[in-house]
A and B are shown apart, each in its own frame.
Chain A
Amino acid sequence: MRKLIYFIARALRNMRQSPFLCTAAVSTVMVALVILAFFAMVVLNIEQLTRTWSQEVQVTAYFAAVPGADDARQIASQIRAFPEVSDVDYTNPRQAYDKFKHRLGEDADVLEGMKKDFLPASLSISLQERFRNRVGIKTVVERLRQDPHFSDLRYAQDWLVKFEAFLALLHVGGVVLGGFLLFAALFIVSNTIKLTLFARRDELEVMALVGGTPGFIKTPFLVEGALQGAVGGGLALLLSYGFFQFYLKEDLSHLLIASGVGKIEFLPPLWQLSLVATGTALGLIGSFLSLRKLVRI
Protein backbone atom coordinates (compact mmCIF):
# COMPACT_ATOMS: atom_id res chain seq x y z
CA MET A 1 0.00 0.00 0.00
CA ARG A 2 2.85 2.37 0.94
CA LYS A 3 4.49 1.57 -2.38
CA LEU A 4 1.28 2.22 -4.33
CA ILE A 5 0.86 5.62 -2.64
CA TYR A 6 4.51 6.36 -3.43
CA PHE A 7 4.06 5.41 -7.11
CA ILE A 8 0.90 7.53 -7.43
CA ALA A 9 2.62 10.47 -5.72
CA ARG A 10 5.59 10.15 -8.06
CA ALA A 11 3.33 9.87 -11.11
CA LEU A 12 1.50 13.05 -10.01
CA ARG A 13 4.80 14.84 -9.40
CA ASN A 14 6.07 13.81 -12.86
CA MET A 15 2.88 15.17 -14.40
CA ARG A 16 3.29 18.43 -12.48
CA GLN A 17 6.92 18.74 -13.55
CA SER A 18 6.15 18.29 -17.27
CA PRO A 19 2.81 20.10 -17.69
CA PHE A 20 3.21 20.50 -21.45
CA LEU A 21 3.84 16.82 -22.17
CA CYS A 22 1.19 15.79 -19.67
CA THR A 23 -1.34 18.06 -21.39
CA ALA A 24 -0.30 16.65 -24.78
CA ALA A 25 -0.88 13.06 -23.60
CA VAL A 26 -4.23 13.88 -21.96
CA SER A 27 -5.37 15.86 -25.03
CA THR A 28 -4.42 13.04 -27.38
CA VAL A 29 -6.46 10.53 -25.39
CA MET A 30 -9.30 13.03 -25.15
CA VAL A 31 -9.45 13.80 -28.89
CA ALA A 32 -9.21 10.11 -29.81
CA LEU A 33 -11.99 9.20 -27.39
CA VAL A 34 -14.25 12.10 -28.38
CA ILE A 35 -14.11 10.79 -31.96
CA LEU A 36 -14.79 7.28 -30.67
CA ALA A 37 -17.66 8.53 -28.47
CA PHE A 38 -19.30 10.30 -31.41
CA PHE A 39 -18.90 7.27 -33.56
CA ALA A 40 -20.45 5.07 -30.85
CA MET A 41 -23.28 7.58 -30.42
CA VAL A 42 -24.04 7.57 -34.15
CA VAL A 43 -24.01 3.75 -34.30
CA LEU A 44 -26.21 3.45 -31.20
CA ASN A 45 -28.75 5.95 -32.52
CA ILE A 46 -28.87 4.31 -35.93
CA GLU A 47 -29.45 1.00 -34.16
CA GLN A 48 -32.25 2.67 -32.26
CA LEU A 49 -33.62 3.93 -35.57
CA THR A 50 -33.50 0.45 -37.11
CA ARG A 51 -35.30 -0.95 -34.07
CA THR A 52 -38.09 1.57 -34.71
CA TRP A 53 -38.16 0.63 -38.37
CA SER A 54 -38.21 -3.07 -37.58
CA GLN A 55 -41.48 -2.63 -35.67
CA GLU A 56 -43.04 -2.20 -39.10
CA VAL A 57 -42.03 -5.72 -40.03
CA GLN A 58 -45.28 -7.66 -39.94
CA VAL A 59 -47.31 -10.14 -41.97
CA THR A 60 -50.84 -9.34 -43.11
CA ALA A 61 -53.01 -12.40 -43.73
CA TYR A 62 -56.23 -11.82 -45.68
CA PHE A 63 -59.18 -14.13 -44.99
CA ALA A 64 -60.74 -15.92 -47.96
CA ALA A 65 -64.14 -15.40 -46.33
CA VAL A 66 -65.10 -13.14 -43.47
CA PRO A 67 -64.93 -15.29 -40.32
CA GLY A 68 -67.39 -15.11 -37.47
CA ALA A 69 -66.20 -13.21 -34.38
CA ASP A 70 -65.52 -16.47 -32.46
CA ASP A 71 -63.65 -18.02 -35.38
CA ALA A 72 -61.53 -14.89 -35.86
CA ARG A 73 -60.66 -14.88 -32.15
CA GLN A 74 -59.77 -18.59 -32.23
CA ILE A 75 -57.60 -18.30 -35.36
CA ALA A 76 -55.89 -15.21 -33.95
CA SER A 77 -55.12 -16.94 -30.67
CA GLN A 78 -53.71 -19.98 -32.54
CA ILE A 79 -51.35 -17.71 -34.47
CA ARG A 80 -50.48 -15.78 -31.32
CA ALA A 81 -49.19 -19.09 -29.90
CA PHE A 82 -46.47 -19.24 -32.62
CA PRO A 83 -43.09 -18.68 -30.93
CA GLU A 84 -42.16 -16.02 -33.51
CA VAL A 85 -45.33 -13.96 -33.01
CA SER A 86 -45.67 -11.14 -30.51
CA ASP A 87 -49.14 -9.84 -31.37
CA VAL A 88 -52.09 -10.52 -33.67
CA ASP A 89 -54.64 -7.86 -34.51
CA TYR A 90 -57.93 -8.69 -36.26
CA THR A 91 -59.38 -6.16 -38.70
CA ASN A 92 -62.92 -6.77 -39.92
CA PRO A 93 -64.10 -5.43 -43.35
CA ARG A 94 -65.74 -2.39 -41.76
CA GLN A 95 -62.59 -1.44 -39.87
CA ALA A 96 -60.55 -2.01 -43.05
CA TYR A 97 -62.90 0.36 -44.90
CA ASP A 98 -62.53 3.05 -42.20
CA LYS A 99 -58.75 2.77 -42.22
CA PHE A 100 -58.66 2.94 -46.01
CA LYS A 101 -60.94 5.96 -46.02
CA HIS A 102 -58.82 7.68 -43.42
CA ARG A 103 -55.70 6.97 -45.44
CA LEU A 104 -57.26 8.38 -48.60
CA GLY A 105 -57.87 11.67 -46.79
CA GLU A 106 -59.19 14.26 -49.25
CA ASP A 107 -59.61 11.61 -51.94
CA ALA A 108 -62.00 9.60 -49.78
CA ASP A 109 -64.86 10.53 -52.09
CA VAL A 110 -63.70 7.81 -54.50
CA LEU A 111 -65.28 5.39 -52.07
CA GLU A 112 -68.70 6.89 -52.48
CA GLY A 113 -71.24 4.33 -53.63
CA MET A 114 -69.08 1.41 -52.50
CA LYS A 115 -70.31 -1.04 -49.89
CA LYS A 116 -68.66 -0.60 -46.52
CA ASP A 117 -67.69 -4.26 -46.29
CA PHE A 118 -66.10 -4.79 -49.71
CA LEU A 119 -62.59 -5.14 -48.28
CA PRO A 120 -61.46 -8.50 -46.93
CA ALA A 121 -61.04 -9.21 -43.23
CA SER A 122 -57.41 -9.62 -42.17
CA LEU A 123 -54.98 -10.38 -39.37
CA SER A 124 -52.00 -8.10 -38.78
CA ILE A 125 -49.29 -10.35 -37.30
CA SER A 126 -46.41 -8.66 -35.50
CA LEU A 127 -43.23 -10.60 -34.77
CA GLN A 128 -40.96 -10.80 -31.76
CA GLU A 129 -37.90 -8.51 -32.21
CA ARG A 130 -35.45 -11.38 -32.74
CA PHE A 131 -37.67 -12.87 -35.51
CA ARG A 132 -38.03 -9.62 -37.45
CA ASN A 133 -35.84 -10.96 -40.23
CA ARG A 134 -36.11 -12.95 -43.43
CA VAL A 135 -35.92 -16.34 -41.71
CA GLY A 136 -38.50 -15.44 -39.07
CA ILE A 137 -40.96 -14.06 -41.65
CA LYS A 138 -40.44 -17.08 -43.92
CA THR A 139 -41.21 -19.53 -41.08
CA VAL A 140 -44.44 -17.73 -40.16
CA VAL A 141 -45.55 -17.27 -43.79
CA GLU A 142 -44.96 -20.97 -44.64
CA ARG A 143 -47.06 -22.00 -41.69
CA LEU A 144 -49.85 -19.55 -42.63
CA ARG A 145 -49.85 -20.75 -46.25
CA GLN A 146 -51.01 -24.15 -45.07
CA ASP A 147 -54.02 -22.56 -43.38
CA PRO A 148 -57.03 -22.66 -45.78
CA HIS A 149 -58.69 -19.67 -44.02
CA PHE A 150 -56.31 -17.27 -45.77
CA SER A 151 -56.42 -16.32 -49.44
CA ASP A 152 -53.46 -13.95 -49.53
CA LEU A 153 -50.38 -13.06 -47.44
CA ARG A 154 -48.48 -9.77 -47.66
CA TYR A 155 -45.04 -9.00 -46.21
CA ALA A 156 -42.22 -6.67 -47.23
CA GLN A 157 -39.68 -9.18 -48.53
CA ASP A 158 -37.59 -6.72 -50.60
CA TRP A 159 -37.53 -4.18 -47.84
CA LEU A 160 -36.37 -6.87 -45.42
CA VAL A 161 -33.43 -7.85 -47.63
CA LYS A 162 -32.26 -4.23 -47.76
CA PHE A 163 -32.87 -3.75 -44.05
CA GLU A 164 -30.77 -6.78 -43.15
CA ALA A 165 -27.98 -5.74 -45.51
CA PHE A 166 -27.98 -2.31 -43.88
CA LEU A 167 -27.82 -3.82 -40.38
CA ALA A 168 -24.95 -6.12 -41.40
CA LEU A 169 -23.08 -3.17 -42.91
CA LEU A 170 -23.66 -1.14 -39.76
CA HIS A 171 -22.27 -3.89 -37.53
CA VAL A 172 -19.26 -4.69 -39.70
CA GLY A 173 -18.60 -0.98 -40.25
CA GLY A 174 -18.92 -0.35 -36.51
CA VAL A 175 -16.43 -3.06 -35.59
CA VAL A 176 -13.93 -2.17 -38.35
CA LEU A 177 -14.08 1.60 -37.87
CA GLY A 178 -14.19 1.37 -34.07
CA GLY A 179 -11.21 -1.01 -34.10
CA PHE A 180 -9.33 1.25 -36.47
CA LEU A 181 -10.04 4.31 -34.31
CA LEU A 182 -8.88 2.47 -31.20
CA PHE A 183 -5.72 1.29 -32.91
CA ALA A 184 -4.97 4.78 -34.21
CA ALA A 185 -5.62 6.21 -30.73
CA LEU A 186 -3.27 3.65 -29.18
CA PHE A 187 -0.57 4.47 -31.72
CA ILE A 188 -0.84 8.22 -31.11
CA VAL A 189 -1.06 7.87 -27.32
CA SER A 190 1.89 5.48 -27.27
CA ASN A 191 3.99 7.93 -29.29
CA THR A 192 3.00 10.88 -27.11
CA ILE A 193 3.98 8.94 -24.00
CA LYS A 194 7.21 7.95 -25.74
CA LEU A 195 7.94 11.68 -26.04
CA THR A 196 7.38 12.17 -22.32
CA LEU A 197 9.70 9.26 -21.57
CA PHE A 198 12.28 10.57 -24.00
CA ALA A 199 12.22 13.92 -22.20
CA ARG A 200 12.95 12.04 -18.95
CA ARG A 201 15.56 9.62 -20.28
CA ASP A 202 18.22 11.18 -18.01
CA GLU A 203 16.05 10.57 -14.99
CA LEU A 204 15.42 6.98 -16.10
CA GLU A 205 19.15 6.42 -16.57
CA VAL A 206 20.05 7.88 -13.17
CA MET A 207 17.27 5.86 -11.56
CA ALA A 208 18.76 2.65 -12.96
CA LEU A 209 22.31 3.64 -11.98
CA VAL A 210 21.42 4.29 -8.34
CA GLY A 211 19.82 0.86 -8.03
CA GLY A 212 16.22 1.24 -9.16
CA THR A 213 14.73 -2.15 -10.04
CA PRO A 214 12.84 -2.44 -13.37
CA GLY A 215 9.53 -2.48 -11.48
CA PHE A 216 10.45 0.58 -9.43
CA ILE A 217 11.47 2.51 -12.54
CA LYS A 218 8.57 1.51 -14.77
CA THR A 219 5.59 1.42 -12.40
CA PRO A 220 5.26 5.22 -11.89
CA PHE A 221 5.25 5.69 -15.66
CA LEU A 222 2.55 3.05 -16.02
CA VAL A 223 0.54 4.76 -13.27
CA GLU A 224 1.13 8.10 -14.98
CA GLY A 225 -0.07 6.70 -18.32
CA ALA A 226 -3.16 5.21 -16.69
CA LEU A 227 -3.94 8.48 -14.85
CA GLN A 228 -3.50 10.56 -18.00
CA GLY A 229 -5.69 8.08 -19.89
CA ALA A 230 -8.38 8.22 -17.22
CA VAL A 231 -8.35 12.05 -17.17
CA GLY A 232 -8.42 12.08 -21.01
CA GLY A 233 -11.34 9.62 -20.97
CA GLY A 234 -13.23 11.69 -18.38
CA LEU A 235 -12.69 14.90 -20.36
CA ALA A 236 -13.76 13.16 -23.58
CA LEU A 237 -16.97 12.10 -21.83
CA LEU A 238 -17.65 15.65 -20.59
CA LEU A 239 -16.85 17.20 -23.95
CA SER A 240 -18.99 14.80 -25.96
CA TYR A 241 -21.84 15.21 -23.46
CA GLY A 242 -21.58 19.01 -23.75
CA PHE A 243 -21.56 18.79 -27.53
CA PHE A 244 -24.49 16.38 -27.45
CA GLN A 245 -26.46 18.59 -25.06
CA PHE A 246 -25.90 21.89 -26.85
CA TYR A 247 -25.71 20.85 -30.47
CA LEU A 248 -26.58 17.28 -31.41
CA LYS A 249 -29.70 16.93 -29.31
CA GLU A 250 -31.41 19.84 -31.06
CA ASP A 251 -30.04 19.95 -34.58
CA LEU A 252 -29.50 16.27 -35.34
CA SER A 253 -32.82 15.31 -33.84
CA HIS A 254 -34.64 17.47 -36.42
CA LEU A 255 -32.98 15.39 -39.08
CA LEU A 256 -33.48 12.03 -37.44
CA ILE A 257 -37.01 12.51 -36.18
CA ALA A 258 -38.00 12.74 -39.84
CA SER A 259 -36.53 9.24 -40.19
CA GLY A 260 -38.59 7.89 -37.32
CA VAL A 261 -36.32 8.17 -34.29
CA GLY A 262 -38.16 9.51 -31.25
CA LYS A 263 -35.17 11.36 -29.80
CA ILE A 264 -31.39 11.29 -29.93
CA GLU A 265 -29.89 9.38 -27.01
CA PHE A 266 -26.49 9.97 -25.36
CA LEU A 267 -24.29 6.97 -24.55
CA PRO A 268 -25.85 4.72 -21.88
CA PRO A 269 -24.11 4.65 -18.44
CA LEU A 270 -22.21 1.42 -19.14
CA TRP A 271 -20.80 2.93 -22.34
CA GLN A 272 -19.83 6.09 -20.45
CA LEU A 273 -17.90 3.99 -17.93
CA SER A 274 -16.37 2.02 -20.79
CA LEU A 275 -15.16 5.26 -22.37
CA VAL A 276 -13.22 6.24 -19.22
CA ALA A 277 -11.98 2.64 -18.85
CA THR A 278 -10.85 2.67 -22.50
CA GLY A 279 -8.93 5.90 -21.83
CA THR A 280 -7.25 4.32 -18.81
CA ALA A 281 -6.39 1.19 -20.82
CA LEU A 282 -5.06 3.30 -23.71
CA GLY A 283 -2.75 5.22 -21.35
CA LEU A 284 -1.62 2.06 -19.60
CA ILE A 285 -0.95 0.06 -22.78
CA GLY A 286 0.60 3.11 -24.48
CA SER A 287 3.01 3.54 -21.54
CA PHE A 288 3.76 -0.16 -21.45
CA LEU A 289 4.64 -0.28 -25.16
CA SER A 290 6.81 2.85 -24.93
CA LEU A 291 8.61 1.63 -21.81
CA ARG A 292 9.34 -1.70 -23.45
CA LYS A 293 10.98 0.04 -26.38
CA LEU A 294 12.66 2.94 -24.62
CA VAL A 295 13.79 1.68 -21.24
CA ARG A 296 16.50 -0.90 -21.32
CA ILE A 297 17.86 -1.45 -17.83
Chain B
Amino acid sequence: MIQIYNLTKSYQKDASALKDLTLRIPKGDFVYITGPSGAGKSTLLKLLYAAEKPTRGQILIDGKNLTRMNTKKIAMVRRRLGIVFQDFKLINTRSIFENVAFPLEVQGKKRYEVSSKVYQALKHVGLEHKLKKYPLELSGGEQQRIAIARALVIDPQILIADEPTGNLDPEVTLEIMDLFKSANARGTTILLATHDREMIRCFPRRTLSLDHGQLVEDRMF
Protein backbone atom coordinates (compact mmCIF):
# COMPACT_ATOMS: atom_id res chain seq x y z
CA MET B 1 0.00 0.00 0.00
CA ILE B 2 1.31 3.44 -0.95
CA GLN B 3 -0.11 6.47 0.88
CA ILE B 4 0.73 9.99 -0.17
CA TYR B 5 -0.30 12.99 1.92
CA ASN B 6 -0.09 16.66 0.88
CA LEU B 7 2.98 15.99 -1.22
CA THR B 8 4.65 19.12 -2.58
CA LYS B 9 7.93 19.45 -4.43
CA SER B 10 9.36 22.81 -5.40
CA TYR B 11 12.62 23.21 -7.32
CA GLN B 12 12.27 27.00 -7.39
CA LYS B 13 10.70 29.36 -4.91
CA ASP B 14 7.55 30.24 -6.86
CA ALA B 15 7.11 27.16 -9.05
CA SER B 16 6.06 23.76 -7.70
CA ALA B 17 6.55 20.60 -9.74
CA LEU B 18 3.97 18.91 -7.47
CA LYS B 19 1.35 20.68 -5.36
CA ASP B 20 -0.38 19.23 -2.33
CA LEU B 21 -0.94 15.75 -3.77
CA THR B 22 -2.86 13.22 -1.68
CA LEU B 23 -3.69 9.70 -2.84
CA ARG B 24 -3.69 6.00 -1.92
CA ILE B 25 -2.59 3.13 -4.12
CA PRO B 26 -3.63 -0.28 -2.77
CA LYS B 27 -1.35 -3.30 -3.01
CA GLY B 28 -1.55 -5.07 -6.40
CA ASP B 29 -3.00 -2.07 -8.22
CA PHE B 30 -2.05 -1.11 -11.77
CA VAL B 31 -1.96 2.67 -12.04
CA TYR B 32 -1.17 4.97 -14.95
CA ILE B 33 0.17 8.40 -14.15
CA THR B 34 -0.49 10.60 -17.11
CA GLY B 35 -0.42 14.21 -18.14
CA PRO B 36 1.43 16.55 -20.50
CA SER B 37 5.15 17.21 -20.32
CA GLY B 38 6.01 19.11 -17.13
CA ALA B 39 2.86 17.89 -15.36
CA GLY B 40 4.91 16.32 -12.55
CA LYS B 41 4.78 12.61 -13.52
CA SER B 42 8.51 11.99 -13.29
CA THR B 43 8.81 14.11 -10.14
CA LEU B 44 6.17 11.97 -8.43
CA LEU B 45 8.00 8.77 -9.38
CA LYS B 46 11.37 10.18 -8.27
CA LEU B 47 9.84 11.02 -4.90
CA LEU B 48 8.45 7.48 -4.69
CA TYR B 49 11.85 5.86 -5.19
CA ALA B 50 13.48 8.57 -3.02
CA ALA B 51 15.76 10.01 -5.68
CA GLU B 52 14.32 13.36 -4.57
CA LYS B 53 13.14 14.62 -1.19
CA PRO B 54 9.74 16.30 -0.95
CA THR B 55 9.51 19.95 0.04
CA ARG B 56 6.43 19.10 2.12
CA GLY B 57 4.20 16.10 2.74
CA GLN B 58 4.61 12.41 3.50
CA ILE B 59 5.01 9.20 1.53
CA LEU B 60 4.23 5.94 3.32
CA ILE B 61 5.08 2.57 1.80
CA ASP B 62 3.50 -0.28 3.77
CA GLY B 63 3.07 2.17 6.64
CA LYS B 64 6.71 3.25 6.74
CA ASN B 65 7.44 6.90 6.19
CA LEU B 66 9.90 7.23 3.32
CA THR B 67 10.50 10.92 3.93
CA ARG B 68 12.02 10.30 7.36
CA MET B 69 14.41 7.51 6.38
CA ASN B 70 18.21 7.72 6.25
CA THR B 71 20.14 6.57 3.17
CA LYS B 72 20.63 3.04 4.51
CA LYS B 73 16.90 2.54 5.16
CA ILE B 74 16.07 4.05 1.78
CA ALA B 75 18.42 1.48 0.21
CA MET B 76 16.45 -1.28 1.98
CA VAL B 77 13.14 0.08 0.62
CA ARG B 78 14.60 0.26 -2.90
CA ARG B 79 15.41 -3.46 -2.67
CA ARG B 80 11.65 -4.05 -2.78
CA LEU B 81 11.15 -1.74 -5.76
CA GLY B 82 11.72 -2.41 -9.45
CA ILE B 83 12.42 0.70 -11.50
CA VAL B 84 12.24 1.01 -15.29
CA PHE B 85 13.35 4.13 -17.17
CA GLN B 86 12.69 5.49 -20.63
CA ASP B 87 16.45 5.49 -21.33
CA PHE B 88 16.81 1.96 -19.81
CA LYS B 89 19.84 2.86 -17.61
CA LEU B 90 21.66 -0.37 -18.39
CA ILE B 91 25.39 -0.55 -17.68
CA ASN B 92 27.02 -0.79 -21.08
CA THR B 93 30.29 -2.26 -19.78
CA ARG B 94 28.48 -5.23 -18.25
CA SER B 95 26.95 -8.20 -20.02
CA ILE B 96 23.19 -8.75 -20.10
CA PHE B 97 23.56 -11.44 -17.43
CA GLU B 98 25.55 -9.06 -15.19
CA ASN B 99 23.04 -6.24 -15.70
CA VAL B 100 20.10 -8.39 -14.66
CA ALA B 101 22.09 -9.93 -11.82
CA PHE B 102 23.01 -6.49 -10.46
CA PRO B 103 20.09 -6.02 -7.97
CA LEU B 104 20.64 -9.56 -6.61
CA GLU B 105 24.37 -8.91 -6.31
CA VAL B 106 23.60 -5.75 -4.33
CA GLN B 107 21.40 -7.82 -2.01
CA GLY B 108 24.25 -10.27 -1.44
CA LYS B 109 22.46 -13.32 -2.88
CA LYS B 110 24.43 -16.51 -3.39
CA ARG B 111 25.83 -17.25 -6.83
CA TYR B 112 23.65 -20.29 -7.64
CA GLU B 113 20.54 -18.37 -6.59
CA VAL B 114 21.58 -15.40 -8.77
CA SER B 115 22.18 -17.60 -11.82
CA SER B 116 18.83 -19.35 -11.59
CA LYS B 117 16.82 -16.15 -10.95
CA VAL B 118 18.55 -14.23 -13.74
CA TYR B 119 17.91 -17.05 -16.18
CA GLN B 120 14.22 -17.17 -15.18
CA ALA B 121 13.85 -13.38 -15.52
CA LEU B 122 15.53 -13.37 -18.95
CA LYS B 123 13.37 -16.30 -20.05
CA HIS B 124 10.31 -14.40 -18.92
CA VAL B 125 11.16 -11.47 -21.22
CA GLY B 126 12.20 -13.90 -23.99
CA LEU B 127 15.87 -12.96 -24.10
CA GLU B 128 17.56 -15.84 -22.30
CA HIS B 129 19.67 -16.53 -25.39
CA LYS B 130 21.23 -13.03 -25.21
CA LEU B 131 22.72 -13.31 -21.74
CA LYS B 132 26.32 -13.09 -22.92
CA LYS B 133 25.69 -10.05 -25.12
CA TYR B 134 26.23 -6.42 -24.10
CA PRO B 135 23.46 -3.77 -24.03
CA LEU B 136 24.74 -1.85 -27.05
CA GLU B 137 24.51 -5.04 -29.14
CA LEU B 138 20.72 -5.14 -28.63
CA SER B 139 17.84 -3.16 -30.15
CA GLY B 140 15.97 -0.50 -28.12
CA GLY B 141 13.04 -2.86 -27.48
CA GLU B 142 15.38 -5.62 -26.34
CA GLN B 143 17.24 -3.23 -24.05
CA GLN B 144 13.96 -2.19 -22.43
CA ARG B 145 13.02 -5.86 -21.94
CA ILE B 146 16.38 -6.37 -20.23
CA ALA B 147 15.67 -3.34 -18.01
CA ILE B 148 12.30 -4.90 -17.12
CA ALA B 149 13.98 -8.24 -16.41
CA ARG B 150 16.37 -6.40 -14.08
CA ALA B 151 13.41 -4.76 -12.32
CA LEU B 152 11.47 -8.05 -12.01
CA VAL B 153 14.35 -10.33 -11.01
CA ILE B 154 13.89 -9.40 -7.34
CA ASP B 155 10.09 -10.08 -7.43
CA PRO B 156 9.40 -6.45 -6.46
CA GLN B 157 6.41 -5.36 -4.40
CA ILE B 158 6.14 -2.23 -6.53
CA LEU B 159 7.28 -1.67 -10.10
CA ILE B 160 7.81 1.97 -11.06
CA ALA B 161 8.14 2.69 -14.77
CA ASP B 162 8.84 6.16 -16.14
CA GLU B 163 7.77 6.38 -19.81
CA PRO B 164 9.03 2.84 -20.46
CA THR B 165 7.73 2.73 -24.03
CA GLY B 166 8.51 6.35 -24.91
CA ASN B 167 11.25 5.43 -27.37
CA LEU B 168 9.77 2.20 -28.71
CA ASP B 169 7.70 1.06 -31.72
CA PRO B 170 3.97 0.26 -31.20
CA GLU B 171 4.59 -3.50 -31.61
CA VAL B 172 7.34 -3.48 -29.02
CA THR B 173 5.08 -1.40 -26.75
CA LEU B 174 2.53 -4.23 -26.83
CA GLU B 175 5.18 -6.75 -25.78
CA ILE B 176 6.34 -4.51 -22.95
CA MET B 177 2.78 -3.97 -21.72
CA ASP B 178 2.25 -7.74 -21.67
CA LEU B 179 5.26 -8.03 -19.36
CA PHE B 180 3.83 -5.40 -16.99
CA LYS B 181 0.42 -7.08 -16.99
CA SER B 182 1.88 -10.46 -16.17
CA ALA B 183 3.94 -8.94 -13.33
CA ASN B 184 0.77 -7.30 -12.03
CA ALA B 185 -1.06 -10.63 -12.25
CA ARG B 186 1.64 -12.09 -9.97
CA GLY B 187 0.81 -9.43 -7.33
CA THR B 188 3.24 -6.61 -8.13
CA THR B 189 1.85 -3.09 -7.80
CA ILE B 190 2.55 -1.22 -11.05
CA LEU B 191 2.96 2.55 -11.34
CA LEU B 192 3.46 3.55 -14.95
CA ALA B 193 4.02 7.13 -16.07
CA THR B 194 3.06 7.77 -19.68
CA HIS B 195 1.55 10.43 -21.90
CA ASP B 196 0.54 7.76 -24.45
CA ARG B 197 -3.31 7.97 -24.45
CA GLU B 198 -3.50 5.12 -26.96
CA MET B 199 -1.79 2.77 -24.52
CA ILE B 200 -4.27 3.66 -21.78
CA ARG B 201 -7.15 3.12 -24.21
CA CYS B 202 -5.87 -0.34 -25.19
CA PHE B 203 -5.07 -1.44 -21.62
CA PRO B 204 -7.49 0.51 -19.44
CA ARG B 205 -6.52 0.72 -15.75
CA ARG B 206 -6.79 3.26 -12.94
CA THR B 207 -5.44 6.55 -14.33
CA LEU B 208 -4.14 9.52 -12.34
CA SER B 209 -4.01 12.65 -14.49
CA LEU B 210 -1.64 15.40 -13.43
CA ASP B 211 -1.42 18.92 -14.75
CA HIS B 212 0.87 21.65 -13.49
CA GLY B 213 1.74 19.50 -10.51
CA GLN B 214 -1.83 18.92 -9.40
CA LEU B 215 -4.03 15.83 -9.55
CA VAL B 216 -6.81 16.80 -11.93
CA GLU B 217 -8.42 13.38 -12.39
CA ASP B 218 -8.38 9.96 -10.69
CA ARG B 219 -10.25 7.68 -13.06
CA MET B 220 -11.08 4.07 -12.12
CA PHE B 221 -11.79 1.19 -14.51
Real complex partners, A and B? Answer: yes
Q: Are B103 and A210 in contact (CB under 8 A)?
A: yes
Within 8 A of A (CB), among B70-95: 71-72, 75-79, 81, 83, 89-94
Contact with B along A203-228 (1 / 0, CB 8 A): 10111111111101000000000000
* Cβ distance B140 to chain A, nearest Cβ, rounded Å: 17
Bound-state Cα–Cα, A209 to B106, Å: 10
Q: Are B91 and A208 in contact (CB under 8 A)?
A: no
Q: Are A211 and B91 in contact (CB under 8 A)?
A: no
**In this assembly, does B12 line the interface, its C-beta being within 8 Å of a C-beta of chain A?**
no
Q: Write the chain B residue with the least CB distance to A205.
A: B89
Most B Cβ at <10 Å: residue of A205, A210, A213, A214: A210
**In this assembly, does B202 line the interface, its C-beta being within 8 Å of a C-beta of chain A?**
no
Q: How many residues of B contact A (CB 8 A)?
A: 24
* Cβ distance A20 to chain B, nearest Cβ, rounded Å: 12
Quick one: given A17-B93, A211-B107, are A206 and B102 in contact (CB under 8 Å)?
yes
Q: Are A216 and B93 in contact (CB under 8 A)?
A: no
Bound-state Cα–Cα, A209 to B154, Å: 13
**In this assembly, does B49 line the interface, its C-beta being within 8 Å of a C-beta of chain A?**
yes
Quick one: given A202-B89, A205-B89, are A213 and B72 in contact (CB under 8 Å)?
yes
* Cβ distance A201 to chain B, nearest Cβ, rounded Å: 11
Q: Are B91 and A213 in contact (CB under 8 A)?
A: no
Bound-state Cα–Cα, A208 to B93, Å: 17
In the complex, which residues of chain A have a beta carbon less than 8 angstroms from the beta carbon of B76? 211
**In this assembly, does A104 line the interface, its C-beta being within 8 Å of a C-beta of chain B?**
no
Q: Are A210 and B106 in contact (CB under 8 A)?
A: yes
Kindly identify which residue among B78, B89, B92, B94 contacts A211, using a CB–CB cutoff of 8 Å. B78
In the complex, which residues of chain B have a beta carbon less than 8 angstroms from the beta carbon of A167? none
Q: Are A206 and B91 in contact (CB under 8 A)?
A: yes
Q: Are B79 and A211 in contact (CB under 8 A)?
A: yes
**In this assembly, does A165 line the interface, its C-beta being within 8 Å of a C-beta of chain B?**
no
Most A Cβ at <10 Å: residue of B72, B77, B93: B93
Q: Are A209 and B91 in contact (CB under 8 A)?
A: no
**In this assembly, does A297 line the interface, its C-beta being within 8 Å of a C-beta of chain B?**
yes
Q: Are B71 and A210 in contact (CB under 8 A)?
A: no
In the complex, which residues of chain B have a beta carbon less than 8 angstroms from the beta carbon of A214? 71-72, 75
Most B Cβ at <10 Å: residue of A17, A205, A206, A216: A206
Contact with B along A180-213 (1 / 0, CB 8 A): 0000000000000000000000110111111111
Bound-state Cα–Cα, A202 to B106, Å: 15
Q: Are A211 and B93 in contact (CB under 8 A)?
A: no
* Cβ distance A291 to chain B, nearest Cβ, rounded Å: 14
Q: Are A212 and B106 in contact (CB under 8 A)?
A: yes
**In this assembly, does B220 line the interface, its C-beta being within 8 Å of a C-beta of chain A?**
no
Bound-state Cα–Cα, A3 to B103, Å: 16
Q: Are B71 and A211 in contact (CB under 8 A)?
A: no
* Cβ distance B106 to chain A, nearest Cβ, rounded Å: 5
Bound-state Cα–Cα, A160 to B89, Å: 71
* Interfacial residues, chain B to chain A (CB-CB below 8 A): 49, 51, 71-72, 75-79, 81, 83, 89-94, 102-103, 106-108, 150, 154
Pairs A–B under 8 Å by Cβ, sample size 13: A3-B108, A17-B94, A18-B93, A202-B91, A207-B102, A209-B51, A209-B78, A210-B102, A210-B103, A211-B79, A211-B106, A212-B106, A216-B106
Q: A206-B90, A207-B102, A210-B103 are in contact. List 5 more A-B contacts (CB 8 A).
A: A209-B51, A210-B79, A211-B76, A214-B72, A216-B106
